[in-house]
Amino acid sequence: MSLAQANKNLKYDKRMTENKINAGEMTKEEWQKHLEQLPDLAHNVETFTMDGKNTKDDDNH
């Protein structure tokens, strides 16, 4: 993968967005629009307790 392609893949990387906004490479509006277009994946969440047990499994037993 080229460096240009790697940078393109990182455009919306959460760890990079603040720096990109501060450097003028991305606007806050562009970032917000990207966030609004992301799918809602809340149904894929798996909760767990601090002891590592899955709470869904605990409910079933």
With residue 56 as reference, give the H or E element that holds it: helix 55-60
> What pLDDT shows up at residue 26?
93
* Overall pTM surpassing 0.85 (yes/no): no
String of DSSP letters for 20-57 = HHHTTSS-HHHHHHHHHHS---GGG---B-TTS-BHHH
What digits encode the pLDDT tens for the residues 1-54?
A: 899 888 878 888 988 899 999 999 999 999 999 999 999 999 998 888 888 776
> Could you say which DSSP state residue 13 is in?
-
